[in-house]
Structure 1
Amino acid sequence: MNLKGFGYILHRNYEGVSMSFHARNGAEFVGLRSVIGGRRQVVYDARTGKRVVLDIRDVSATDDDINSALKEGINARNVLGGVLAALKARDINVEFAS
């Protein structure tokens, strides 16, 4: 499926749903991953090598809501800012991973 010039791929892994989205030009990536203990993280990678990992603190956040936020964010001019704004708009509490 294409969203305004961006393509995305939905992946499933053995622990549940893992969602990832690539900009069509390959410059940026956002994805959701599960880590030990069932915690979820959003990962942002830019072609420049910049990586930002966000811990999802809101255990009640649904995969559908997170998926919608990632789809919305990948279309923003500033993808990371777009993802953060979309998560905030859905009241999904996140913090930068250490």
Structure 2
Amino acid sequence: MSKPLQSFALTVCIAALSSLEMTSVHAKQQCAAAIPTNPQGQWWSYRLIDGRKCWYAGKPMLSKSLLEWPTEVSSEPGSRGEAKGIVIASKPGNPLDAR
């Protein structure tokens, strides 16, 4: 191989490996509230995140930055499509008034 072709091949390999590494760094693993009832031979570990046990498939001591809780779906609508909950209305007022 000629020198420029070797240099180019090395550059392409380094770029490919670094892009693979970046993808794995940015991929976060979802937390589970409990170990599944049938772990199917997988190793399960947990880290305390936000005061709760975050269970994940894998070896212990995975970096907390690689774990995340799944985003919660908003509350389910009532039977008529209305949101459940209590709404407290307040009178508009001057925020500078002392109470």
- Place the TM-score, normalised by the shorter chain, in its bin: under 0.3
User: TM-score, normalised on structure 2?
Assistant: 0.21
